[in-house]
Amino acid sequence: MKWIARLVIAALLLLVVAAAAAWYALPRHAGSLIEGALENRGISVRTMGTVVHGFSGMEFDRLEIVFETPPDSCTGTTSGYSAIVHGAKLSWRLAHPDETTGRGKPFSLIPLSLSLSADSLRIEQQPSGMVFSDSEPLLNAGLTLVRETGLTFGFRPLHLDYSVENATVTNGALRLEDLSYAVSARSSDNWEQPPSLLHIASLSSGNEKLPLRNFRAMFGLRKNPETPCTLILEDCSAALFGLEATTPEIRYDLEKKETAFTLDIPNVPLATLPGFRGSPAERPAAKGAISGSIPVEFRDSTLTVRDARIRAEKGTKLLYYGLDGKPWLSIDASPEKQGADLMTDLNATVTLESRDEKLSGIVLKNFSSSCLGGTIGSAPATFAPSEKERRLILNMQNVGLPDRLRLHGDFSGSFGGSLSGTVPLTLKENGLVVEGARLGSNGVGMVVHSPPRRKENAAERFRGDGQGDATYTYTAPDLVVSRTAAGKTTIDFTLKSLGRKTTGGELLLDKPGGRLLLWSDRDNPSLVSLKNFSAGFLGGSIGMEHVDYDMKNKSAETVLTLNALPLQTLLDLQGLKKILATGTVMGRIPLKMKGGAFEISSGRMGAEDTGKIIYSTTPEELEAANQSLRLTYEALSDFSYSELLSSVSMTPEGESVISLQLKGINPSFQDGRPVHLNLKVEQNLLDLLRSLTISASIEQAISEKAGKQSK
């Protein structure tokens, strides 16, 4: 920031001196005098629209000054400046002699106090291309006409005071906004700026706000004879990504272009940071606070962070809410009874690249950190100020995030394992984008659903709610996550297994997978879509092409497809111990869900190929059976079916109708004549499935229909 103070002091003082000298030399030719007299000193001055107001002041429509400084004693750099003032008004008054005379000072003939106001001020520095701009600036200065030697007279500046408020500094796409600084330079102090509060409200790149805001520091230009090339900023503070960071001192070596300091982050409430405030206010997205320390080194346009640490204080957590406004999930950043480190051994290298003495890009390298028992890092990334997008690929290895997940309300659970993978991030003008993040875990998780006890309907009895809790288990999740700037999230998932267990039974899916779409409908954010779902089931597979589930209304509609389900497995599931069968079945089951209850309309299943059904009987059963039942046993003792078709319908209350059609032969029954069986079972399917009593109904129907066929 040193160039700002020097630029302002040099350029603005020259404006005041040049204007005052022109008036006292020849008021009517002020412009020509400035342009002629000062050019011999390496200063070019141009004026437009000069108006003199008697003996009290003068105005300029436009005033231009171009000058060059000698090489800097520390950096060896020569800088050129061009200053433009629009709508300048210069006024003056006689100052008291005591203000300008004193021991060691030249004899003062005419001491003056001057005031310069303007509509705007613009100063550009080359070769850096930095531009300082201020609207409605006001400068106050002291000037005196002195006798130098003999009859030679000259003007001597005495002081300059300029309170900079809400100014801007730009360099290419970078912009320092709302800059404030009190310039106060005195000849008695060798024109060295004393320490004053420097404040920069925000930084921008193009139209985008950067994460560094509210920078404050005590800053002056008085040199220490022992370290004349060291720039010192004291009591520094800034908001970095919303975190209030402080450091007692920053010492920058102008000659070596290097500095080292440590940023301290005090306890910052997480809910005050961008993205964690929550909406509405009574539903905060986070609780607790974080703190930390960030050691920083800067040398030759390269900033290095070494061994930084970020800590989560006691009770710090992220919160996610359900449609009822209550938390359903939280991520604990620290244990309940004590704080914990979130990130340790944080290291990174940031290089400021330049082209033609202007900032052209920011390069991030060597970013790595320990995090929750694992590590995170990133591939090298370049951020150009002119670009509207910022890209970063984050790498995760064995990060123990699942262990920090907590469920609330009717749900509880435990999550094991760790996460590994890559997360490509893109920061756009309208939000954060995730493009194909791949995350995997070898862990096992369990979720228990314990709903409030109430009078159950048939659907709830099928789910097992009335008999106890429902426990879901999963193993080895593998995810591919994408997110648009508007928040639409797509999750392609596969699991090694997914199980559901209640007191009424257990359901196990093998390698389930599909695509979830979340927040894809702005008009209905409670809508969750599932596409291309498939899973291994009972030795075959099930699937759904598409289903939209409304979490608020608990409604959905889809078609469940069945493929290659072993007939024997289905019979065993129903407890039909006397029937052996070969072959597989396939089918399509239309499902409707409303308010948690299921409805099946015209579902159909059929055998994929021919097969056998063998109904086993004991000699005692044959002897006790009547004639028709004996014929049934004989027909099904070695039944080869050529056609097996069934249809099923079910009301939301569980009342179902199952129709079964069998065609085939038994070579040893009645010389192998064709046998046709048409079965129809009407029961409450949900109750039957829960109690596994459907087997008795099927056996009875087979006996009855077989008896009719034999007549």
Strand partners, 646: 605, 660
Dihedral of alpha carbons 384, 385, 387, 389, sign = positive
**pLDDT one-digit tens code per residue, 523-543:** 787 888 999 999 999 899 999
DSSP secondary structure letter of residue 469: -
Q: Which residues contact 360 (CB under 8 A, 6 or more apart)?
A: 172, 353, 354, 384, 385
- Which band of pLDDT confidence, cut at 50, 70 and 90, is reported for residue 654? confident
Nearest to residue 705, comparing CAs of 687, 672, 678? Answer: 678
- The pLDDT mean for the chain works out to 79
SS3 630: helix
Structure token pair of residue 413: 């659970």
**pLDDT one-digit tens code per residue, 323-355:** 677 888 888 988 767 888 999 999 999 887 766
Q: What is the pLDDT, as a whole number, of residue 188?
A: 80
Helix (H) or strand (E) holding 527: strand 527-537
Give the β-pairing of 444-449 and 411-415. Answer: antiparallel
Average confidence (pLDDT) over 628-644? 83
Nearest to residue 449, comparing CAs of 409, 405, 414? Answer: 409
Q: What is the pLDDT, as a whole number, of residue 553?
A: 80
264, 244 Cβ separation under 8 angstroms: no
Pairwise CA distance, residues 178 & 549, whole Å: 50
Q: What is the pLDDT, as a whole number, of residue 419?
A: 92
pTM: 0.66
Q: What is the pLDDT, as a whole number, of residue 204?
A: 78
Within 10 Å of residue 439's Cβ, how many Cβ atoms?
Answer: 19
- Which band of pLDDT confidence, cut at 50, 70 and 90, is reported for residue 357? low
408, 326 Cβ separation under 8 angstroms: yes
Residue 412 has pLDDT above 80, yes or no: yes
**pLDDT one-digit tens code per residue, 249-301:** 988 887 777 888 888 888 888 887 766 666 666 777 888 888 999 898 887 77
Average confidence (pLDDT) over 674-685? 77
DSSP secondary structure letter of residue 227: B
Q: What is the pLDDT, as a whole number, of residue 369?
A: 95
Nearest to residue 81, comparing CAs of 103, 64, 93? Answer: 64
Residue 443 has pLDDT above 70, yes or no: yes
Q: What is the pLDDT, as a whole number, of residue 456?
A: 56
Q: What is the pLDDT, as a whole number, of residue 277?
A: 65
Give the β-pairing of 470-475 and 444-449. Answer: antiparallel
Strand partners, 216: 199, 237
Q: What is the pLDDT, as a whole number, of residue 427?
A: 77
Question: Looking at per-residue confidence, does 515 or 335 come out higher?
Answer: 515
